[in-house]
Structure formats: structure tokens, C-alpha cells
A and B are shown apart, each in its own frame.
Chain A
Amino acid sequence: MNTRARVVVVLIAVLGLCVLGAAARDTVLTAWAAPVAGAPRELKVGVVAFLSGPASGPFGIPSRNAAELWIEKINKEGGIGGARLVPVFTDEAGPADKVVTEFRRLALDEKVNAVIGYISSANCLAVPPVADELKVLTVLADCGTDRVFEEAKHPNVFRTHAHTVIDGVGAARYVLGLKPQVRTVAGINQDYAWGRDSWEVFSRTLKKLKPDVEVVDTLWPKIFAGEYSAEISKLLVNKPDVVFTSFWGGDLVTFSGQARARGLLEQSVVVVNNTGADIKDLAPGTLIGSRGPHAIVSPELERNPLRREFINLYRQKFGLAKNDYIAHGAYHYVQALQGIRAAYEKAIKAAGRWPSPEQVVAAFEHLEFDTPSGHIAMAIGGGHQAIEPAAYAVLKSDPGLGINTFTQIRMFPAKCVNPPDGMKSLDWIDRGFPGAQC
């Protein structure tokens, strides 16, 4: 009895200290920020990313980490208009009904002011109608599908990173720049929507830019198959000049290792559109993109102070070995936070006080803001979809440092690899890229 009573007292004491500590931190942080009139103490942000399952390692956890450290940074700088950002992290894993239920919980139970997240394209299609129904500002943060704003209008939904069209168009232009004499091409992609979309954009662009290119093989191994010797044999027989793949995570590392051992890289140029933290494990000589100017390191990109700050913060908080590159998801989640911050600040400026949700949404449309990935413009999708440049490079082994570095880096400007506002991506490609500024 006595012991139990003591335990209870200790527990209560600990709890009390925690509450006091939290309260003290609150007052310290808001003490020197000048709050805007009508500003709440807190701005709750739901952060949804894969915290379990195969997509958590390459995308989910780095994204969640980046969101956490960037929210801390914003709070240290006084929050948004004096309101502290409070993240609510949840797992994206599970079928669509679970993801939608979870979104509703964030909106109706946690009463978040905004939600950022969604790495899976399926979830980026399932959530927007619900976001509109519940009128919750939602920023899609890493998914690729171009269907979101091309098939429907979603007043409360924004995407602060480019859709996957930049990856395919960028890859095709980069390959043709490096090897103008390409005659044959093959694709090996995971058999799901992202793989299909990636191949569609890449192959269509390549054929449009160089109509005599012949597709000699399209292989669709199952996602997370983890073993590709049969597919590599087929590629070795067909001898394509270029092999395009949209593999990611463990699949990509396995494929790259097997391809290197079997000599595929000596025979064909292998181009990957979706690399990040796995760059350190890939075979030198691979052509890589990282869904925008993210993981690739170039002097031009390093001039961006926000980028240097982000990488330093990430290194301090989560550790980063010399051969580690930060996944694109991490950059994308920071872009989403920067977007929300800029939209609120613009709306505060316009309203002269704390804005209504409608005013924030209005401010977000066609917004431009700076991020660690460069200057972002919400230029298409009626002002709801960002455009970004595409960056590609060739991996080079640096024997001195023992790491992979980048060479022949090329950036394709945002207006070169994105369709103009109001035009569907595939139509844009088929019509020969009208309005492209390369």
C-alpha cells in the first residue's frame, strides 16, 4: 500500500514538472515574439508520413524528422505571427479508409489548423475531397501523381512540390543531352501507379523529343520484389542504350547492386528518377534525379542559405554520415511548412490581424516563397500546384572520400519541365511542350 502511494505521488510530481516545464517553455518562446492581433497561442499542424512499412525508411522517417526540426526552427523564430506551431504526427501506413479516417480525426478531434503530408499518390487522391468537405488547409507533401489538380479542383488543398512530370521530362532531356545518339530504350519499373506514371512520362517525352527512339523492353516486376536477376538477364540480351527505372528504397539498391555485378552499367546508361538517402549505395555511373533540386549537391544549390541551414540542422539533430544524402521527402515537407508560413504571413499582412482560414487559402494561391530547395512558385493547377526545376547528375565515386559524388549536374528550369497552367501534363507532352522555356 505504502509503496503504491509513493509511486502515485512520484508519478504526479513528474507529471506536474512536465506540465510546468512545457508551460515555462511556452512563455519563454512567446515572450519575445510580437503576436498579431487575434493570434491564437498555438497553430496545430497534422504531420502525416509513413512511420511504418517499406516506405518509412527511404521517405517517411526523414520527412517526419525534417518537419519536426523545421517546426522547432519556426518556433524559435517566434512562430507564425506569434502562434507556436504544434505538430501532431501520425502514420500514413494502411489502406485508404484508414488514412481518410485518420485525416478526419486530425481535423475534427485534434482540431488541427492545417495538415501537411501524404507520400503515397493514392492517399493524395483520397484525402483532398475530404479536406474540402471539412475545409481544412491541406498541403500535400511528397506524392507524385499529376492527377490531383488535373482531374479536379480542390480549393483547400495545395501541393508545394512539383508533381512527377518534372522527373520524367527532366530524365528524358538529360539523357538526350548526354547521349544524343540514343536509339533504343527499356524501362524497368515497379508494377504500381507510380512506376506506370513515371515510365509513361519518360517514354512519351523521349519519343516526342527524338521520334526514332525505339522501346525494346518494358518490365514490370512486382513492388518490393527485391530480386531482379531475370529482368537484368532480359536487359542484357536486349541491349538497350538506356534503361529507365523509377525504383526506390530497397528495390533500387538491390537492382543497382545486381546490375553493377552483371555488367549492365557497362552496356547501358541507367537513369533513375527517384533517389535520395539511397544515393550512397548506388553504382557509380548511374544517372540520377531526386524529384527536384534536393539530394543532389551542386555549388549553385549550396549558395542558398536556407538549404545550408536545413542541412546543418538535420546533421545536428539526427546525425548525417559523410556519405549520407537527405531524402527528397525531407526537403518536400520543409517546403510544405515554408508554404504554410508564407501563406499565413501574407494573409496577416493583408488582413492586418490574424486571418480567417479562407483568407489563408486565398493568400496561398499563386504564392511564391523561398525554401531549402530554392524559390517555389505555386504556378499551375489554378495556383494550387508548385513547379520546381528538375536536377539530374551522374554519380561518380570519390575514392579519396569513399563516397558517391555528383558530376555533369544539370538543372532544367521549372518552366522547361512543367506544363503551363491549365494544361494537362500528358497533353502538353503530346503537343510538343508548348510554352516550355529551356
Chain B
Amino acid sequence: MGPRPRPSPLLPLGALVLFLLAPLVLSGWIVFLLTVAWAKALAVLGVVLLLRGGLLTFGHALYYAAGAYAAGMAVKYLHVREGLALLGLALLAGVGTSALLGLLVARYRGVYFALLNLAFSMVLYGVLLKFYAITGGTDGLGLPAPPLAGLRPVAQSLRLALYDLTLVLAALLIYAAHRFSASPVGYTLRAIRDNEVRVEYMGASVWRTIYVSYVIAGGLASVAGALIGLSVGHITPDLSFWSQSGEFVFVAILGGTGSVLAPVVGSIVFEFVRNYAFELSPYTWQMTLGIVLLVIIFFLPGGLWSLSALARRLPRRGAPPPFRTSPRDGAGAAGARTADQAREPRGGR
């Protein structure tokens, strides 16, 4: 294997430190917004990983809800209180479900993959709705403020603790996803998007690559779901509804697929746009979101992340760009392709 361009860890680490220090100056609700954004970024990251393999899913909320409800059920029926244990259980549930369903869906591509995922997520939605006595139906389940690592923080520091936990966990998982992308399996996944037959001829297993990626994406979403459940304090079957999956795809396209950090950018921008759209025009916030997405697709087909490629080109021409795992795979070009693929199945043209 040839020399891989080493990503510079300084920039992401610096950003992480900035985010860790942010609560010192930001108001409580922005810290909460960031918690939600970082947590959801993990689910979006799963969508992005699959998009890199040319796989679009309209049902990723399945694992998001699986994680949240694993935590909710554990609180209600197993009387688990510890936040970290709940996260572990959620991960287990997400990985378990995706390992099981992956056996089937990893065999499909294109619109079949997208819709099969959608179908499974709506099955979970139906189950959560129908088993009213167990799941609380549309009223949902409450998740009381959890102790973390045995400590029970007071109300104000609890939000901070949850923020820090989300941040650190997300950073670790994003780094893991980055390593995965740079691993042979990660490269194979990209190759699959370009030409599946050739990958098979080269001796790599397409099915295994997609299966592993699918399970990883499911695990990421389940952790996101549990984190959301813990910080919001209440979970409803909406977590598994198709519109939630649609939101993940929306944010993935908004951020772009050029980097594992793009979902974080997309997610934070999305949460802020949504909340300010709310504040400015409570009647037409959905339209504001739609217009923002259209503008981004038209002018930044590679998502917001393609802005970073522009910025990077200015100071250091020729230097290995950070977080690009292949010199050929410029953020703009890859994102544009994936965004096109993402639009294709629902375009109906």
C-alpha cells in the first residue's frame, strides 16, 4: 500500500477543545442545541458512511429509535439508572438489530436498499405505536435525569455533563469512523460505489464490506438515539418515523460526504437554522429549511464541507489536505457524486 496522506490532527482537536470550552460563554439553550446537534451528527455519520458506498438509506431512524427505546425500556423495566450503562445497552441493541437486518438488506442496492430500510423503520414505528401498554404508544416514555459513572450531578451541571459526554463520545466515534474510512474495508466501500464487479474480481467481498459498514452505521445511530433520549428526557415513536430518516439524509447532504467531520457541521447548521427559522417565522419554518437545502444543492453540491476545500486551497497549495483519505477523492467531487446519487431514487425523473 502506498503512503497514505497523514491527516493533521491539530485542527479537529483544536475544534474539540473549543467546543468543550464553549459552555463557558454560551447560554444554556445553545449548549443544549449543540448537545442535540452532536448527538444527531452520529446518526448522520452512519448515513454518510453508507452514502460513501453509494448506499442511500431512508430508514436509518430505525437504529436511532432502537437505541433510544433500548435505553427507555431499560429504565422502565430493568430499572437501570446509570447513563453509561444505558448507552452500552443502546449500542448493543443497535448493533444487534443492524447485524440481524443487515443479513438481508446488505444484499440490496439502490432504491431497493433505500426502501427496504424505510420499511423496517416503519415496522418498528408501528410496533412502538401498537404495543401501547409496553411502549406508552405515541405518548412515549420518560427518561429521568441519569447518574453518570455513578455520580448524580445537580440539574445545572447535568446539562453540562451530558454535553461533555456527548462531545467526547461523538469525537471518539467520529475518529473511529475516520479510521474505518481509511482502512482497507473503508476503501473497498468506496470502490464498491465506483464498480462493484471489479471489486469482486479483485478478490474483496462486496457483501461483507457492506454488511460491516451497515452494522457500524447502525451502531452509530443507536448511540445517537440514546444520547438524544438522555438529553431530551422523553422519547416517542416519532424517532423511528420516516421523516426522521429523511432529516438524517437532509443533514448528510447539507454537510456533505467529503469528511467524517461534515456531519457535525451539517448537524449544527441544521439545528441552528431550524431553531432560528422557528423564531423568525413560526408559520413557515419548514419552507425556510427547504429553501436552505435547495440553495445548498444548487450552489454547493458537495455540501457545506466543500467550503473547507475552498478555504484549504488558498493558504497551502499542494500540502496534503487533512481528513482526505484519498488524494483523488476531493470533497467537492465526491460529494457532488453522492448528492446526485442521493437525489436519484426519489427524483422520479
Indicate whether B18 reaches chain A with its CB closer than 8 angstroms. Answer: no
Asked if A121 contacts B139 (CB within 8 A), the reply is: yes
Q: Which of A104-112, A229-237, A246-254, A406-414 contacts B (4 or more CB under 8 A)?
A: A104-112
Asked if A105 contacts B275 (CB within 8 A), the reply is: yes
| A96-B236 contact given A101-B275, A104-B28, CB 8 Å threshold | yes
Pick the contact of A130 from B137, B233, B274, B283 — CB < 8 Å? B233
CB distance from B304 to the nearest CB of A (A): 21
Asked if A90 contacts B137 (CB within 8 A), the reply is: no
| A129-B27 contact given A89-B282, A100-B232, A196-B137, CB 8 Å threshold | no
- Residues from chain B with a CB closer than 8 A to the CB of A122 are 138-140, 234, 236
- Residue in B closest to A104 when the chains form the complex, CB atoms: B29
How far, in angstroms, from A51 to B36 measured CA to CA in the complex? 23
How far, in angstroms, from A191 to B137 measured CA to CA in the complex? 9
Indicate whether B129 reaches chain A with its CB closer than 8 angstroms. Answer: yes
CB distance from B107 to the nearest CB of A (A): 30
How far, in angstroms, from A63 to B32 measured CA to CA in the complex? 28
Asked if B232 contacts A126 (CB within 8 A), the reply is: yes
How far, in angstroms, from A49 to B191 measured CA to CA in the complex? 49
How far, in angstroms, from A100 to B29 measured CA to CA in the complex? 10
Asked if B140 contacts A98 (CB within 8 A), the reply is: no
- Residues from chain B with a CB closer than 8 A to the CB of A262 are none
Q: Which of A175-209 contact B (CB under 8 A)?
A: 191-194, 196
Pick the contact of A97 from B36, B130, B136, B139 — CB < 8 Å? B36
- Residues from chain A with a CB closer than 8 A to the CB of B33 are 101, 104-105
How far, in angstroms, from A272 to B196 measured CA to CA in the complex? 58
Indicate whether B183 reaches chain A with its CB closer than 8 angstroms. Answer: no
| A96-B140 contact given A133-B155, A191-B130, A193-B132, CB 8 Å threshold | yes
Pick the contact of B282 from A90, A100, A125, A129 — CB < 8 Å? A90
How far, in angstroms, from A133 to B228 measured CA to CA in the complex? 17
Indicate whether A375 reaches chain B with its CB closer than 8 angstroms. Answer: no
Asked if B140 contacts A125 (CB within 8 A), the reply is: yes
Interface size class of B (residues with CB under 8 A): 35 or more
Per-residue contact bits, chain A 143-187, to B (CB 8 Å; 1 contact, 0 not)? 001010000100000000000000000000000000000000000
Pick the contact of A192 from B129, B145, B282 — CB < 8 Å? B129
Q: Which of B269-285 contact A (CB under 8 A)?
A: 271, 274-275, 278-279, 282-283, 285
Q: Which of B209-260 contact A (CB under 8 A)?
A: 228, 232-236, 238-239, 241, 244
- Residues from chain A with a CB closer than 8 A to the CB of B236 are 95-96, 122, 126
- Residue in A closest to B37 when the chains form the complex, CB atoms: A101
Pick the contact of B144 from A102, A129, A194 — CB < 8 Å? A129
Asked if A51 contacts B233 (CB within 8 A), the reply is: no
How far, in angstroms, from A129 to B285 measured CA to CA in the complex? 26
How far, in angstroms, from A396 to B65 measured CA to CA in the complex? 47
| A90-B228 contact given A51-B283, A101-B32, A108-B27, CB 8 Å threshold | no
How far, in angstroms, from A41 to B36 measured CA to CA in the complex? 34
Indicate whether B321 reaches chain A with its CB closer than 8 angstroms. Answer: no
- Residue in B closest to A98 when the chains form the complex, CB atoms: B274
Q: Which of A244-283 contact B (CB under 8 A)?
A: none
Q: Which of A134, A147, A193 has the most CB of B within 10 A?
A: A193
Asked if B139 contacts A145 (CB within 8 A), the reply is: yes
Asked if B282 contacts A193 (CB within 8 A), the reply is: no
Asked if A95 contacts B238 (CB within 8 A), the reply is: yes
Asked if A126 contacts B244 (CB within 8 A), the reply is: no
Pick the contact of B36 from A90, A101, A121, A133 — CB < 8 Å? A101
Indicate whether B8 reaches chain A with its CB closer than 8 angstroms. Answer: no
CB distance from A372 to the nearest CB of B (A): 25
Q: Which of B108-166 contact A (CB under 8 A)?
A: 129-130, 132, 136-140, 142, 144-145, 155
- Residues from chain A with a CB closer than 8 A to the CB of B241 are 95
Indicate whether B326 reaches chain A with its CB closer than 8 angstroms. Answer: no
- Residue in B closest to A197 when the chains form the complex, CB atoms: B139
Asked if A51 contacts B282 (CB within 8 A), the reply is: yes
Indicate whether A437 reaches chain B with its CB closer than 8 angstroms. Answer: no
- Residue in A closest to B133 when the chains form the complex, CB atoms: A196
How far, in angstroms, from A96 to B155 measured CA to CA in the complex? 20
- Residues from chain B with a CB closer than 8 A to the CB of A191 are 129-130
Indicate whether A238 reaches chain B with its CB closer than 8 angstroms. Answer: no
- Residues from chain A with a CB closer than 8 A to the CB of B308 are none
Indicate whether A323 reaches chain B with its CB closer than 8 angstroms. Answer: no
How far, in angstroms, from A95 to B132 measured CA to CA in the complex? 18
- Residues from chain A with a CB closer than 8 A to the CB of B132 are 193, 196
CB distance from B152 to the nearest CB of A (A): 14
- Residues from chain B with a CB closer than 8 A to the CB of A105 are 29, 33, 275, 278-279
Asked if B232 contacts A97 (CB within 8 A), the reply is: yes
- Residues from chain A with a CB closer than 8 A to the CB of B137 are 192-193, 196
Pick the contact of B235 from A96, A102, A109 — CB < 8 Å? A96
Asked if B278 contacts A125 (CB within 8 A), the reply is: no
Indicate whether A312 reaches chain B with its CB closer than 8 angstroms. Answer: no
CB distance from A265 to the nearest CB of B (A): 29
Asked if B234 contacts A100 (CB within 8 A), the reply is: yes
| A108-B130 contact given A122-B236, A129-B142, CB 8 Å threshold | no
| A97-B228 contact given A51-B282, A191-B130, CB 8 Å threshold | yes
- Residues from chain B with a CB closer than 8 A to the CB of A98 are 274
Per-residue contact bits, chain A 212-233, to B (CB 8 Å; 1 contact, 0 not)? 0000000000000000000000
- Residue in A closest to B130 when the chains form the complex, CB atoms: A191
- Residues from chain B with a CB closer than 8 A to the CB of A147 are 139
Pick the contact of A102 from B28, B238, B278 — CB < 8 Å? B278
How far, in angstroms, from A126 to B231 measured CA to CA in the complex? 11
Indicate whether A142 reaches chain B with its CB closer than 8 angstroms. Answer: no
CB distance from A160 to the nearest CB of B (A): 20
- Residue in B closest to A121 when the chains form the complex, CB atoms: B139
Q: Which of B232, B235, B279, B283 has the most CB of A within 10 A?
A: B232
Indicate whether A91 reaches chain B with its CB closer than 8 angstroms. Answer: yes
Asked if B283 contacts A193 (CB within 8 A), the reply is: no
| A91-B278 contact given A97-B36, A107-B29, CB 8 Å threshold | yes
- Residues from chain A with a CB closer than 8 A to the CB of B138 are 121-122, 192-194
Indicate whether A52 reaches chain B with its CB closer than 8 angstroms. Answer: yes
How far, in angstroms, from A125 to B140 measured CA to CA in the complex? 8
How far, in angstroms, from A274 to B322 measured CA to CA in the complex? 59
How far, in angstroms, from A389 to B285 measured CA to CA in the complex? 38
CB distance from A251 to the nearest CB of B (A): 15
Sample of 6 A–B contacts (CB below 8 Å): A101-B271, A102-B275, A109-B29, A125-B234, A129-B144, A194-B138
Listed in ascending order, the chain B residues whose CB lies under 8 Å from chain A are: 27-30, 32-33, 36, 129-130, 132, 136-140, 142, 144-145, 155, 228, 232-236, 238-239, 241, 244, 271, 274-275, 278-279, 282-283, 285-286
Extra inter-chain contacts (8) besides given A105-B278, A193-B139, CB under 8 Å: A96-B235, A98-B274, A101-B33, A105-B275, A125-B142, A129-B142, A145-B139, A193-B132
